Amino acid sequence: QVTLWLKKIYGDVPVPEYEVNERTVDILHEVMECNEERDRDVMLLIEDLKDRATKYEAEADYWQDILGESLGLSVGSLSQEATTDLIDLVESAVELEAEDTSLTSFYSAINYMSSELYKTKSENEEMELKLKTLTKKLTSSLALEKQLADDITKLKESQDAEKAKAVIRSKNLKFLEDKSKDLKIRITDAEDELVAMGLDQSLTHEALMKSSE
């Protein structure tokens, strides 16, 4: 089936070579079925269009006979103005998708289109309102986002400044602690030196502090 279908598709042109296995044949068979189904649908559509065309032609002939025999009207007998009006009438009916060219059909079609136009305008106005609301919200959100970004930047700068101050304070504290230790050592060394030189123990810094307490 697949081979015959490919020959039918390509006609006089040789069928391109392809790897023949179960998978490729299954795929081609599926494509073949889809193609044949589409062809059937197209043929049905063509037959339907031919049937409609035949009916329209028969109806046109019927009305042409009515107009010619009863009213003595034909395309050639109409004036240029009448022909133009008739063409405008037909084009208007087609544009409005009217059932026929009667006044009732025209009014119905115009009312329907007016209703659709009003509906479209209402939907457009609703969309514009939504757009304005969303734009307002977006603008507010962007402003808030910028404010938050500025606040974060300021907070970071403030934290960096506090960190710098803390580092300076830590260095100063370390310096004072080291200085205090150094002074204590000097005092102790000086007292030991004075004691070695015969200084009364009651006059040392530690003894004087205890006496003061």
pLDDT digits (tens, 9 = 90+) for 99-123: 777 788 888 888 888 888 888 998 8
Average pLDDT, the chain: 83
Q: Reply yes or no on whether the pLDDT at 75 is more than 70.
A: no
Indicate whether 176 pLDDT > 80.
Answer: yes
Greatest C-alpha distance within the chain: 160
pLDDT of residue 135: 86
**Predicted pLDDT at 200:** 63
- Dist. CA 184–CA 195, nearest whole Å: 16
List pLDDT tens digits, range 117-141.
888 998 889 888 888 888 888 888 8
Tokens 């391109």 correspond to what residue?
A: 16
pLDDT of residue 47: 92
**Tokens (6 digits) for 60:** 């046109």
CB-facing half-sphere around the CA of 107: CA atoms within 13 A: 3
Q: What is the pLDDT of residue 201?
A: 63
Identity of residue 96 = L
Task: Read off the tokens for 186.
Answer: 């000097």
Whether the per-residue pLDDT at 88 is higher than 70: the answer is: yes
Task: Answer yes or no: are the C-beta atoms of 106 and 92 closer than 8 Å.
Answer: yes
Give domain limits for the chain. Answer: 1-72, 151-207
d(CA 41, CA 66): 37
